[in-house]
Amino acid sequence: MGRYDDYVNTNTPISPRAPMYLTPEEQAAGINPNLKVAARRYLCPKCGKEFSLFQSRAVACKYCPKAGQRCPNVRCPYCDSEFPIAGFVTPKDKVDSTIINDYTDDVFNRWADRYNRR
């Protein structure tokens, strides 16, 4: 019998607007669909390593001037390859990619403001 990973395509884009089940514990912790999409792990098509959009933005895009300006790409923190968010993280929908970009930019801007690391 195969592993669970053999049956699930981890690179299937997910819309933050799609119905998504949140456990009572997730709801109590303030987790929302945007967070689940941004924290989801994806496999890099080039190097095969796993990373999340948060990891990409925090590591690979950290010093890029476009990082906090609704950049349309996601970058692998291992091999530095770039892919469009629309079609990789979210479906090829401008609204979905804008929602996720705004969400991740807001998270990192709040973190920078809180810890004064801008």
From the number of C-beta atoms within 10 Å of its C-beta (0-12, 13-18, 19+), residue 20 rates as: middle
**What does the block give as tokens for 92?**
């090829």
Give the total residue count for the chain.
118
Reported as a single tens digit per residue, the pLDDT across 53-93 is 888 888 888 788 787 678 889 999 999 999 999 989 999 98
Domain spans of the chain, in order of start = 41-118
The angle formed by the CA atoms of residues 92, 27 and 56, to the nearest 5 degrees, is 40
**Rounded Cα gap, residues 65 and 97, in angstroms:** 19
Q: Please answer whether residues 76 and 56 qualify as being in contact, where contact means their C-beta atoms are separated by less than 8 angstroms.
A: yes
What's the pLDDT score for residue 29? 93
**What does the block give as tokens for 2?**
């195969």
In this prediction the pTM is 0.75
Confidence check: pLDDT of 4 > 70: no
What's the pLDDT score for residue 115? 60
Q: What percent of the chain has pLDDT over 70?
A: 84
**What does the block give as tokens for 56?**
């990409």
Q: Residue 113 — very low, low, confident or very high, per pLDDT cuts 50/70/90?
A: low
What's the pLDDT score for residue 82? 92
